Amino acid sequence: MLYMIVETFRNGDAVPVYRRFRDRGRLAPEGLRYVSSWVTDDLRRCFQVMECDNEALLRAWIAAWDDIVEFEVVPVIPSAQAAAAIAPRL
């Protein structure tokens, strides 16, 4: 399953987030895969795609960051899969 993760850095401060990433890495448990990410140009939010088959892995990863990041988790599917799913209804 793919998840779009919207991260809002607490107090709009990216420094603690990047410092932890530099010092400790992504902190993703085995089985949770980083796909890609984008950061707003004001460095206050990050949009990240993660993939895993076990949502507990995603929750464990979030727990490692939730003191400095607020999370919104949105399950997503690729556009091609969405187009195939909606095609019979067109």
pLDDT digits (tens), the chain, 90 positions: 999 999 999 999 999 999 999 999 999 999 999 999 999 999 999 999 999 999 999 999 999 999 999 999 999 999 999 999 999 999
Full domain range(s) for residue 28:
2-89
Alpha-carbon span 22 to 11, nearest angstrom: 20
Q: Whole-prediction pTM value?
A: 0.91
Give CA 44 to chain center in angstroms: 14
Structural domain count of the chain: 1
Alpha-carbon span 24 to 42, nearest angstrom: 24
* Domain CATH code at residue 7: 3.30.70
3 state SS of 53? coil
